[in-house]
Structure 1
Amino acid sequence: MLETERWTVDIDLTEGDDRTVAKARLRTRDATDLQGRGVAKRNPDDTNVPEIGAELAAARALFELAHHLLRAATDDVEQLTGEPAHLHS
């Protein structure tokens, strides 16, 4: 039987001056807590469009989170098999 599991990523965005910081957090079923952080800096000469800063910062936070998740999977495979694992994104 097929089972569906839902993982949720929370992204907190903090905006100030010419910078947006995003923190992405994933908590898995085994209580693993993984986080990624991303920053977007606006050039002072550019038009202030907060949505663009939020998108860039969130994308960067998710990218870092993805790397942490891939590393966690690699560690789990290595622990299970006792062999080096080479997982790729």
Structure 2
Amino acid sequence: MQNHWVVDLSFDEDESRTSCTASLSGFSAPGAQGTGEARRNPTDDGDSVIGEELAAARACHDLAHQLVGRAAAGIEGHTHVPAHPAL
């Protein structure tokens, strides 16, 4: 069986903050969504790319942790033994 999931990153920015939502979609993909945020120090020059990269990394990290948690719950449902899968 072949499956394909897509991670969509959407951003919201203002002068000092960038937030990102990482949404997972695709056939049989869980409806998972991660969030991340980056804040710019007021003394730093504005560079939206840096904020987007950091916010995206944090959103993907959040999404990954949610998926590991779902996998652990699935393992435990089958084995009835606590699972601690590593990320």
**Percent identity over paired residues:** 41
Query: Which whole-Å deviations, capped at 9, do the CAs of 1:19-72 have from their partners, x for residues lacking one?
Result: 000000113543521111100000111010100000000000000100000000
Please report the TM-score for the alignment, with normalisation by the length of structure 2. Answer: 0.92
How far apart are the structure 2 equivalents of 1:50 and 1:81? 46
How far apart are the structure 1 equivalents of 2:56 and 2:3? 23
- Tell me the equivalent position of 1:15: 13
How far apart are the structure 2 equivalents of 1:77 and 1:29? 21
Q: Indicate conservation of the 8 Å contact 2:19/2:38, yes or no.
A: yes
State the 4+ residue runs in structure 1 displaced beyond 4 angstroms. none
Question: Shift of residue 80 of structure 1?
Answer: 1.3
How far apart are the structure 1 equivalents of 2:37 and 2:53? 10
Question: Shift of residue 4 of structure 1?
Answer: 3.0
| Partner AA of 2:17 in structure 1 | R
Q: Does 1:57 align with 2:30?
A: no
How far apart are the structure 1 equivalents of 2:61 and 2:49? 18
Mark the runs of 5 or more structure 1 residues left unpaired by the alignment: none
Matches within 5 A, 1:31-42: 31-42=29-40
Q: Does 1:84 align with 2:82?
A: yes
Mark the runs of 5 or more structure 2 residues left unpaired by the alignment: none
